[in-house]
Amino acid sequence: MAWDFETEPEFEEKLAWMRGFVREEIFPLETLDLEYDQMLRVIRPLQEQVKEKGLWAAHLPPELGGMGFGQVRLGLMHEILGQTALGPVVFGNNAPDSGNAELLAVGIEATGREDQREQWLQPLLDGKVRSAYSMTEPETAGSDPTLLRTRAERDGDEYVINGHKWFTSNGSVADFLIVMAVTNPDVHPYQGSSMILVPVDTPGVEIARDVPTMAHPETEYGRFGNHAEVYYRDVRVPAANLIGREGEGFTLAQMRLGPGRIHHCMRWLGQSKRAFDMMCERAVSRTAHGGLLAEKQSVQNWVADSMAEMHAARLMTLHAAWKMDREGAPAARIEIAMIKFYGANVLFNVIDRAIQVHGALGFSCDLPLEQMYRQARAARIYDGPDEVHRQTVARRTLKNYAPHEVPSEHIPTRREEARARFTEMLEQVTANL
Ligand SMILES: Cc1cc2nc3c(=O)[nH]c(=O)nc-3n(C[C@H](O)[C@H](O)[C@H](O)COP(=O)(O)OP(=O)(O)OC[C@H]3O[C@@H](n4cnc5c(N)ncnc54)[C@H](O)[C@@H]3O)c2cc1C
């Protein structure tokens, strides 16, 4: 049996290079306020360096140019990349493109539809096209996707799609959308929903607007990272645009979401650590009421609690990744659900405490904390709200328990049973007294 909290020295070298590269080369770009397309030009040489190091799109299997690292190593990489929003873009694994590439890859593997690799997957991997994932609808609860209303009806060699989606991240800058739609309303949605690739310029696709959010209240249309509202009205696409097999939409979604959640959680830890470092730096720098903030008990509590929570979240996430590597994503359902809500709350709490320690400066836009805080709030909602993940953990855990009219630990009952079982021994012991 092996218990190990270390990484191989060769991989540790890669992580060390990444730490330096992200801090020295990527952090400074955050402050330049460049448009996304300008930023893309600026980061291109950095992306080349990442490719030379063999770390580009590392989440992919080796046959697609990835490194086959497995989730534990990928998680450790995402912890470094997550410190800055630009990190995943420079390393070729920004959401939703990375997840969508995985979906396409899994679908192609299942169906052998190589034309999809050439037409969509390879350009996506090369960063030549952009994608979005279009599942959530304003009229139905996204946390219960069995309620999906968007329909895709087969008509000869085509699917005809009708529906209304929103929060399709990057929809307004994407070249294609992966749409989750009901293809067979007569069976349970888990067997009757499919994913279909829709080029964004297909007639009937209307990107109605980018929804302003807490993270970007005054967003301009067509910005990278926006969340689009999309109408699909009699949108006709070839049946060959189906990803995987018909009716397998939810199976594909599960495959995509498992690793994605590990990466999210590790990126949140990178963000948390950055906020934590800011909090500690301020605590040892600022004096009030006769001493450093670091000497006040409330601040010490925040430092200690944050440290403990981040450590717990890190161990939980790496354990979930380890289990996924060994036993596959379905076996790690509870662990993945636990880290999703636990990690999102750790992120939120650590940033909140860091803001508090900085006072007005923390609330100001002179530090990245206010922006991190607004972004962090969404982590408790996207990829399923906290409550749903808690429910998954509780439901699956409770399955291991049977009802007992009298609690199995009821002391008087246990005493009676123990007396009956040990009658003879008790008689001997009492007689010897
Ligand atoms: C920043 C961001 C990016 C996103 N990107 C995408 C994307 O790219 N593509 C996409 O398709 N979607 C995306 N989404 C949508 C996201 O997946 C949904 O918001 C999420 O699934 C929740 O669905 P909903 O918003 O409809 O909330 P609802 O389903 O209406 O839930 C609202 C609230 O109800 C409560 N609730 C729900 N179920 C339960 C339960 N079982 N027990 C207790 N309480 C419950 C929770 O408090 C929950 O927050 C994104 C969302 C955000 C915020």
CATH at residue 53 = 1.10.540.10
Full-model pTM: 0.93
Q: Residue 108: inside a domain, yes or no?
A: no
In this structure, which residue's CA is closest to atom 37 in ligand 1? 143
Same domain, 239 and 255: no
Same domain, 25 and 54: yes
User: 381 CB under 6 A from ligand 1?
Assistant: yes
Same domain, 89 and 187: no
Q: How far is the CA of 418 from the centre of ligand 1 (A)?
A: 51
Q: Residue 4: inside a domain, yes or no?
A: no
User: 387 CB under 6 A from ligand 1?
Assistant: yes
Same domain, 80 and 171: no
Same domain, 45 and 148: no
Q: Over 3-29, what HEC string results?
A: CCCCCCHHHHHHHHHHHHHHHHHHHHH
* Token pair listed for 20: 């330096």
Closest atom of ligand 1 relative to the 137 alpha carbon? 26
Per-residue pLDDT of the chain (433 residues; tens, 9 = 90+): 678 888 899 999 999 999 999 999 999 999 998 887 898 899 999 999 999 999 988 887 777 767 788 899 999 999 999 999 999 999 998 889 988 998 998 899 889 999 999 999 999 988 889 999 999 999 999 999 999 999 999 999 999 999 999 999 999 999 999 999 999 999 999 999 999 999 999 999 999 999 999 999 988 899 889 999 999 999 999 999 999 999 999 999 887 777 888 999 999 999 999 999 999 999 999 999 999 999 999 999 999 999 999 999 999 999 999 999 999 888 999 999 999 999 999 999 999 999 999 999 999 999 999 999 999 999 999 999 999 999 999 999 999 999 999 999 999 999 999 999 999 999 999 886 6
Antiparallel, parallel or unpaired: β 227-238 and 176-182 = unpaired
Q: Residue 158: inside a domain, yes or no?
A: yes
Answer for the pair 125, 119: CB distance below 8 angstroms, yes or no. no
Same domain, 268 and 342: yes
Q: Residue 44: inside a domain, yes or no?
A: yes
Exposed, middle or buried, 430 (CB in 10 Å: 0-12/13-18/19+)? exposed
Could you give the angle at which helices 333-358 and 369-379 cross, rounded to 10 degrees?
Answer: 150
User: 140 CB under 6 A from ligand 1?
Assistant: no
Bridge partners for 251 per DSSP: none
* Token pair listed for 136: 């959530």
What are the distances in angstroms from CA 246 to CA 164, 196, 202, 234, 235?
A: 21, 9, 21, 19, 18
**Consecutive H or E run containing 295:** none
Q: How far is the CA of 257 from the centre of ligand 1 (A)?
A: 14
Q: Residue 355: inside a domain, yes or no?
A: yes
What is the domain range of residue 304?
A: 250-398
Exposed, middle or buried, 376 (CB in 10 Å: 0-12/13-18/19+)? buried
pLDDT the model gives residue 200: 98
In this structure, which residue's CA is closest to atom 52 in ligand 1? 382
Q: Which of 80, 98, 116 is the C-terminal boundary of a domain?
A: 98
Q: How far is the CA of 319 from the centre of ligand 1 (A)?
A: 26
Q: How far is the CA of 148 from the centre of ligand 1 (A)?
A: 13
Same domain, 273 and 393: yes
Q: Which of 177, 211, 243 is the C-terminal boundary of a domain?
A: 243
Overall domain count for the chain: 3
Question: CATH code at 375?
Answer: 1.20.140.10
In this structure, which residue's CA is closest to atom 40 in ligand 1? 388
User: 134 CB under 6 A from ligand 1?
Assistant: yes
Same domain, 185 and 276: no
Same domain, 298 and 283: yes
Same domain, 307 and 182: no
Closest atom of ligand 1 relative to the 96 alpha carbon? 8
324 Cβ contact list (under 8 Å, min separation 6): 71, 258, 259, 262, 331, 332, 335, 336
Same domain, 296 and 375: yes
Answer for the pair 320, 339: CB distance below 8 angstroms, yes or no. yes
Q: Which of 131, 149, 167 to mutate to test the pocket of ligand 1 (most atoms within 8 A of CB)?
A: 167
Q: How far is the CA of 53 from the centre of ligand 1 (A)?
A: 37
393 Cβ contact list (under 8 Å, min separation 6): 334, 337, 338
User: 378 CB under 6 A from ligand 1?
Assistant: yes
User: 384 CB under 6 A from ligand 1?
Assistant: yes
Q: Residue 431: inside a domain, yes or no?
A: no
Q: Which of 98, 119, 150 is the C-terminal boundary of a domain?
A: 98
Same domain, 198 and 309: no
Q: Residue 104: inside a domain, yes or no?
A: no
Q: Which of 136, 144, 257 to mutate to test the pocket of ligand 1 (most atoms within 8 A of CB)?
A: 136
Q: Residue 119: inside a domain, yes or no?
A: no
Phi, psi dihedral angles at 168 (to 5 degrees): -80, 95
Closest atom of ligand 1 relative to the 169 alpha carbon? 8
* Token pair listed for 83: 């410190």
Q: How far is the CA of 384 from the centre of ligand 1 (A)?
A: 5
In this structure, which residue's CA is closest to atom 2 in ligand 1? 382
pLDDT the model gives residue 61: 76
Distance between CA atoms of 188 and 175, rounded to whole angstroms? 31
Question: CATH code at 154?
Answer: 2.40.110.10
Distance between CA atoms of 304 and 296, rounded to whole angstroms? 12
- Helices marked H in 146-248: 189-192
pLDDT the model gives residue 256: 75
